[in-house]
Structure 1
Amino acid sequence: MRAPVRVSVGGHVAPASVGPITATDIVRFAGAGGDFNPLHHDPEFAAAAGYPGVIAMGQLQAGMLAGWLADWCGVEHLRELEVRFVAPVRPGDTLTFAGEVNGVDPAERLANLTLTASVEGKPVVQATAIVHVAD
């Protein structure tokens, strides 16, 4: 078991980037998760729905964000993660992850964080998390 991370209010999680996202990434995730909505693999369907092409399912970028967070704090210390999808991700996009510590409860040894996955500086996923931290 990994030791809990040490944090302070205003501290940041080291940023990271993943990508570019490929059509293969999207199709593989669809197969793993069973999400075969044509928005994720059919360019004509996506265009008819008003998108410039296929888009990744939100859970793909949420999963990547969760993996980045768990790599930092240790999955055994992740207590809660809530995500909100704010913009689509398309093949060719590179995701950049950032996080900030907003509060620490020393008695409970829990920290509240805000997290963002962005593409070219524009948020695509906004999230909050609670992690168990060191004294």
Structure 2
Amino acid sequence: MNEFKAQRFTLTRADLVRYAGASGDFNPIHWSERTAVAVGLPGVIAHGMLTLGLVGAAVDTWTGGAEVLEMGARFTAPVVVPDDEEGVEVTVAATKVTRENDTVTIAMEVRCGETKVLGMPKAVVRDGA
């Protein structure tokens, strides 16, 4: 649990459809451009919990599957997913790692392009080292 390289994830519209099926969240803002724009969004957006799930995937990679005791963030900006084959990239980077007793707290920054899409993302995991 010593290397915390930024993790990059690509999301496509196909990923949103798969996530909708797995989560049961079929809100049309996650697949219909017409609906998303009609409610004031810049386009189809990724599910917030899918974005937070990318944080979990990064933490899992960094820690080698350590037990997650706490994980959270505020949803501050949408991840707009274009209707193409390339999708959009979301980057999860560790900004501060603190070890205390038997836990490790990882503060992060989550961006889509230049935009921070999660506020105050952090995870607390059991330190297996």
TM > 0.5 fold call: yes
Q: Equivalent residue for 1:96?
A: 91
Which ranges in structure 1 are unaligned for 5 or more consecutive residues?
7-11
The answer to whether the aligner puts 1:110 opposite 2:103 as a matched pair is: yes
Q: Give secondary structure in 2 for the equivalent of 1:65.
A: helix
Q: Equivalent residue for 2:74?
A: 84
Letter paired with 2:73: V
Please, which of 7, 10, 34 is the counterpart of residue 16 of structure 1?
Answer: 7
Moved over 4 A (4+): none
Does the 8 Å contact 1:101/1:111 carry over to 2? no
- What's the CA shift for 1:102? 4.5
Q: Equivalent residue for 1:128?
A: 122
% identity of equivalent residues: 31
1:24/1:134 Cα in 2 relative to 1: closer, same or farther (>3 Å)? closer
Give the root-mean-square deviation of aligned CA atoms.
1.8
Which ranges in structure 2 are unaligned for 5 or more consecutive residues?
82-86
Larger Rg: 1 or 2? 1
Q: Give secondary structure in 2 for the equivalent of 1:66.
A: helix
Between the aligned partners of 1:23 and 1:84, the Cα distance in structure 2 is 23
TM-score (norm. length: structure 2): 0.84
Between the aligned partners of 1:65 and 1:52, the Cα distance in structure 2 is 23
Does the 8 Å contact 2:96/2:108 carry over to 1? no
Between the aligned partners of 1:94 and 1:15, the Cα distance in structure 2 is 12
Q: Deviations over 1:8-48 (max 9, x none)?
A: xxxx72102111x2111111100110001111111111111
Aligned length: 123
Which protein has greater RCO, CA pairs closer than 8 Å, 6+ apart? Answer: 1
